[in-house]
């Protein structure tokens, strides 16, 4: 497997790149962004994965997330994949921003016609890490994961399902219980079918109810987020963590909304928090 370098740019004492490769999971070319701080020859770096939200690509956080200075300071590589497969042959719902291209929800779809290409769970959990391990100076024993909105859902569910792999999990404005909100119900019914038992492995609250645990979880949620009440429902995660003894840090940030103005405000804080976990001695 080889990658194509689309762009590489010097920034904050490191290299910000955009790369493409042919994915066997999605059956398409997939694009991702990677920031790699300067490092000594032969040195490998811990990695923070960032999963983006609805309508986004790798470019949103790369252009607006303001992560490079903090990653360079703490010696952490930052990988931002796309949110769904792309291409003329990939089925889409062009009049629906919350479904189809840009809205893969980090699931492996099982329903036609989505199942052929919409395999973002396997892509993020298995295929892309193998690409990164081969092509970049990454210490795969030191991984953490974060994300925003739909990507916050992805970070929580992937992190909880693979608790031994990720040293820490964080999220900005995550969809914590997609089985209970319109965005998730729409996507799950069409990608996964009507069996709600199948949905549970893609729902952070259900995973916690079914026994998933992680000791290092950080959530930031804006109180002026217009999606908070209907789609995000942070209170469900607060309740689930309290009931199960998970020591999550869930911070309601007064006056902040759902945008990258919010994300960029707290990005360096999240990276510093992850850095303490990623650089802990075993």
Kindly list the catalytic residues.
Answer: 149, 225, 258
Neighbours of 144 (CB within 10 A): 26
Angle at 240 between CA 239 and CA 244, to 5 degrees: 115
Token reading at 271: 């990276």
CB 1 within 8 A of CB 9: no
Distance, in Å, from the CA atom of 148 to the CA atom of 52, rounded to the nearest integer, reads 5
Distance, in Å, from the CA atom of 226 to the CA atom of 207, rounded to the nearest integer, reads 26
Determine the number of helices (DSSP H) and then strands (DSSP E) in the chain. 10, 9
Q: 3-state class of 74 per DSSP?
A: helix
Distance, in Å, from the CA atom of 42 to the CA atom of 177, rounded to the nearest integer, reads 42
Distance, in Å, from the CA atom of 254 to the CA atom of 145, rounded to the nearest integer, reads 24
């Amino acid at each position: 497997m080889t990658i194509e370098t689309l762009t590489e740019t010097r920034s904050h004492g490191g290299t910000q790149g955009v790369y493409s490769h042919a994915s066997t999971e999605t059956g398409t070319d997939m694009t991702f962004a990677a920031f790699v701080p300067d490092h000594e020859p032969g040195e490998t770096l811990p990695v923070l994965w960032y999963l983006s939200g609805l309508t986004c690509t790798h470019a949103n956080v790369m252009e607006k997330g303001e992560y490079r200075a903090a990653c360079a300071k703490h010696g952490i590589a930052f990988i931002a994949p796309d949110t769904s497969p792309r291409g003329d042959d990939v089925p889409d719902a062009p009049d629906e921003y919350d479904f189809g291209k840009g809205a893969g929800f980090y699931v492996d779809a099982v329903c036609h016609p989505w199942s052929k290409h919409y395999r973002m769970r396997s892509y993020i959990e298995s295929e892309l890490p193998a690409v990164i391990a081969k092509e970049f100076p990454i210490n795969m024993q030191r991984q953490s994961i974060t994300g925003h909105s739909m990507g916050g859902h992805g970070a929580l569910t992937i992190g909880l399902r693979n608790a031994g792999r990720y040293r820490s999990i964080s999220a900005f404005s995550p969809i914590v219980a997609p089985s209970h909100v319109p965005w998730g119900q729409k996507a799950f019914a069409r990608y996964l079918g009507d069996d709600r038992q199948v949905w549970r492995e893609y729902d952070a609250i259900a995973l916690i109810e079914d026994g998933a645990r992680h000791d290092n979880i950080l959530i930031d949620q804006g109180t002026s987020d217009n999606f908070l009440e209907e789609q995000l429902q942070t209170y469900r995660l607060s309740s689930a963590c309290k009931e199960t003894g998970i020591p999550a840090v869930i911070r309601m940030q007064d006056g902040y909304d759902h945008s990258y103005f919010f994300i960029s405000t707290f990005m360096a804080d999240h990276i510093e928090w992850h850095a303490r976990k990623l650089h802990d001695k075993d």
